[in-house]
Amino acid sequence: MARLQLKNVNKRWGSFVGVDNFDLDIADQEFLVLLGPSGCGKSTTMRMIAGLEDVTDGEIWLGDRVVNNLEPKDRDISMVFQSYGLYPNLSVYENIRFPLRVRKVPKEQHHEMVMKAIDMVELNDFMDRRPAELSGGQRQRVALGRAIVRKPTVFLMDEPLSNLDAKLRVSTRAQIKNLQSKLKTTTVYVTHDQIEAMTLADRVVVMNKGKIQQVGTPTDIYDNPANTFVASFIGSPAMNLVEGRLENGVFQGDGIRVEGLPAGSSGNVTLGFRAEDAEIVDGAGEISAPMYSIELLGEASMITWRLGGSLVSIKTNKEYRAEIGDTVNARIPAGICHLFDTASGERIAQ
Amino acid sequence: MSNLANKKPPSLVALSTVFVLFWLVVAAFPFLWTMWGSFKVEGDFFSRADWMNAITGPVTERQHGGPFTLDGYRGAWIEQEFWRAVLNTGIVVFFTVVISLTLGTLGGYALARSGFKYTFWLLMAALVFRAMPHVTLVSGYLLPFFQMNIWGYLPTTIIVLVAINQPFTLWMLHSFFLSIPKDLDEAAMVDGCTRFQAFRLAIIPVMWPGVVTTGLFSFLLAYNDFTVTSMLLTQENATMIPKINSFLGSTQEEGKVMYAVAAVVSAIVPLFVLILFFQRQIVSGLTAGAVKG
Ligand SMILES: Nc1ncnc2c1ncn2[C@@H]1O[C@H](COP(=O)(O)OP(=O)(O)O)[C@@H](O)[C@H]1O
Ligand SMILES: [Mg+2]
């Protein structure tokens, strides 16, 4: 159990910046998710915490000591790798026992500890098999079992679900959440899947190009994205973003005009709103433009316009019918709108 | 699988069976012939009158009162002290294999994991030296060895054989290590291993078939070598192959050729034992996929 702090951590390879000034304080027992597109530096950050990658600049604190110069084995963490990293020549039982063996845990305790971990990840029927004789989901659970068999101060998980099929991913996700709440171990979890992040995290760190974009609870980053990157990355579908001009509290874009916005600022702005917050109307609306497409989603239909350069979508009931090219109107109350500075992408305070 | 095989036309099955049998006979015949002949006298095995004599052995019958004789073996092993050559070969082979595998696994692992840019060129250069005819290297060694007064000794030969063999060992083990995902080392290190423990406890067990296969190649190089051993060793330190050659070089003396034949058969037997013993590892080492988890 420990608090984990990253103080202005940087990773550079030559002139290439992998992680840029990463500064974060992770509380004891917290479930923290690093979320971002592929190549944004999530794994690098995690590997620096694990000690598998040197820190170019900055400090990593684990509990009350700086661990920058400690070997991975001395950091007392455990890690689940994307490709699991199981020992192919050892049985499931021996795979899970491996950390106890190399860490010189007294032999008499091994069996009990291993069996407890095996129970937790429900692998009792597969104890004697080799990894090659297991399905992807079972291998994944062996990796989890190996991580929890001793009580580490921090769990690190690097996209542990990305090699599983969609259905298994949902059930394993629930299992991980459950395990973490039982074990109460500080956890850093890396993913590029925003749904995983939203469902698992106490707090989410959204990263892009090596930089932290926003830190907050899932609700926080969903309701108040700090910039257009976060807005377009979180939510499914992602937030609609339209460029235009703001003048005296009136936003004017191509085919869209919203009144009653805060009058404080003016200039080129990007207006954002979520598909599920707006509604299609018959009379006049903030959007009035020819429809670009209509898609049936099952429980709802999705109407899309092309406004300026961007596609804007709104959900409506599944009975709604219109032809492509018809003018369709929608109501966008000022209250659901987010404003971002077009040049910097940053949120404009409201 | 067997279903599929059953569906093949009988003519094809017959043809391939015949072919395999034919191949087996062709491959095994020289060895069987030599082994059979090693229990005869020179007059039979190298008979000018009738080649069938090598099988029936009338001269052997006349000289020893039976169709088989151990004369060749007795002469080679006792009179000519072939056991000394066997011992020398054992020493040379053992140390060559152990040293090149030790250097090869450590070096191959380091190269595979370092990500050093010039690794490829380093290995390429190594391979070029391996490709040179051994005799070009050895003739260069002769003079300095004489001057340093280290010519003729087993350790000198071992060092030369290791040097000649090392590039290949390094190259082969390097590619085996590359086929093992880096995650395995890293998982082991997070689990509590030092870098070296990760190598020993996590990587080597998986690498075992690769080590055995590479070791076999080193073994064969040292075991079968003629160029290096014949030029670098004194008469009493000679290994098996040069020793057999020296038997063959003295055809004037009746019977000595049979020492060579008996010695050849003695030299082949360990190879069979070896292959039988390590058969499984060699097969999985040669089909490198087995290394992957
Ligand atoms: N050893 C390395 N040398 C140079 N660049 C690297 C190295 N490892 C990773 N990178 C680069 O750093 C960036 C971040 O990588 P990574 O942390 O693996 O991203 P992800 O968020 O997908 O896990 C990528 O652009 C990657 O190409
Ligand atoms: Mg990654």
| pLDDT per residue as tens digits for the range A121-165 | 999 999 999 999 999 899 999 999 999 999 899 999 999 998 888
One DSSP character per residue, B142-198 reads HHHHHHHT-TB-HHHHHHHHHHHHHHHHHHHHHHHHHTS-HHHHHHHHHTT--HHHI
Starting at the edge strand found earlier in the chain, the sheet holding A57-62 runs A16-26, A4-13, A57-62, A65-66
pLDDT tens digit string along A35-58? 999 999 999 999 999 999 999 999
Extract the tokens encoding A63. Answer: 């509990």
3-state class of B223 per DSSP? Answer: helix
| Per-residue pLDDT at B286 | 65
Q: How far apart are CA B95 and CA B100, in angstroms?
A: 8
pLDDT tens digit string along A178-200? 999 999 999 999 999 999 999 99
**What is the ipTM metric for this complex?**
0.85
Half-sphere exposure at residue A27, Cβ-oriented, CA atoms within 13 angstroms: 8
Query: How far is the centre of ligand 2, averaged over its atoms, from the C-alpha of A99 (Å)?
Result: 24
Q: How far apart are CA B207 and CA B26, in angstroms?
A: 35
Thinking of the domain A4-225, which architecture would CATH place it in?
3-Layer(aba) Sandwich (3.40)
Distance from CA of A152 to the nearest CA of B (A): 10
The CA–CA distances, whole Å, from A303 to A227, A242, A257, A279, A300 equal: 25, 16, 18, 10, 10
Give the angle A252-A256-A261 at the CA atoms, nearest 5°. Answer: 55
Q: Tell me phi and psi for residue A32, to 5 degrees.
A: -110, 135
| Per-residue pLDDT at B252 | 62
Contact between B68 and B53 under an 8 Å Cβ cutoff? The reply is no
| Per-residue pLDDT at B289 | 41
| Per-residue pLDDT at B4 | 55
Give the angle A216-A220-A226 at the CA atoms, nearest 5°. Answer: 80
pLDDT tens digit string along A271-289? 999 998 999 998 888 999 9
Instruction: Give the residue among B202, B162, B210 at the shortest CA–CA distance from A99.
Output: B202
Nearest ligand to the CA of A41 is: 1
| Ligand 1 interacting residues, C-beta cut-off 6 A | A 13, 16, 18, 36, 38-44
CATH superfamily of A237-341: Nucleic acid-binding proteins (2.40.50.140)
Q: How far apart are CA A347 and CA A239, in angstroms?
A: 13
Q: How far apart are CA B243 and CA A112, in angstroms?
A: 62
Non-local (6+) Cβ contacts of A191 within 8 A are A33, A34, A35, A42, A159, A161, A162, A197
| Per-residue pLDDT at B155 | 94
pLDDT over 70 (residue A338): yes
pLDDT tens digit string along A67-100? 999 999 999 999 999 889 999 989 999 999 999 9
Over its length of 293 residues, how does chain B's per-residue pLDDT go in tens digits? 455 555 678 889 999 999 999 999 999 898 888 888 889 888 888 887 788 888 888 888 888 888 888 888 988 888 888 999 999 999 999 999 999 999 999 999 998 988 777 888 888 887 787 788 888 888 888 889 999 998 989 999 999 999 888 888 998 899 889 888 888 999 999 999 999 999 999 999 888 888 988 998 899 989 999 989 998 998 889 999 999 888 887 656 666 788 888 898 999 888 888 888 888 777 776 664 434 43
Domain boundaries, chain A: 4-225, 237-341
| Per-residue pLDDT at B125 | 83
Q: Pick the residue with more confidence: B130 or A111?
A: A111
| Per-residue pLDDT at B279 | 80
What's the mean pLDDT when you consider all of chain A?
Answer: 93
Alpha carbon dihedral B162, B166, B169, B173, in 10-degree steps, equals: 130
Mean of the pLDDT values across residues A20-47?
Answer: 96
Domains within chain B, CATH numbers bracketed = 2-71 (no CATH), 76-290 (1.10.3720.10)
The answer to whether the Cβ–Cβ distance between A99 and B189 falls below 8 Å is: no
User: What residue in B sits closest to A154 (Cα-Cα)?
Assistant: B190
Which of A73, A74, A78, A92 is the best mutation test for B, with the most CBs of B within 10 A? A73
Q: Which of B194, B201, B205 sits opposite A73 (nearest CB)?
A: B194
Name residue A268's amino acid. N
Non-local (6+) Cβ contacts of B9 within 8 A are none
CA B239 to chain centre: 13
Instruction: Give the residue among B86, B85, B100 at the shortest CA–CA distance from B218.
Output: B100
Q: Does B193 touch chain A (CB under 8 A)?
A: yes
Q: How far apart are CA B221 and CA B229, in angstroms?
A: 11
pLDDT tens digit string along A301-326? 999 999 988 999 999 998 888 899 99
**Which secondary-structure segment (H or E) carries A329?**
strand A327-331
Minimal-distance CA residue to ligand 1 atom 25: A39
Distance from CA of B184 to the nearest CA of A (A): 5
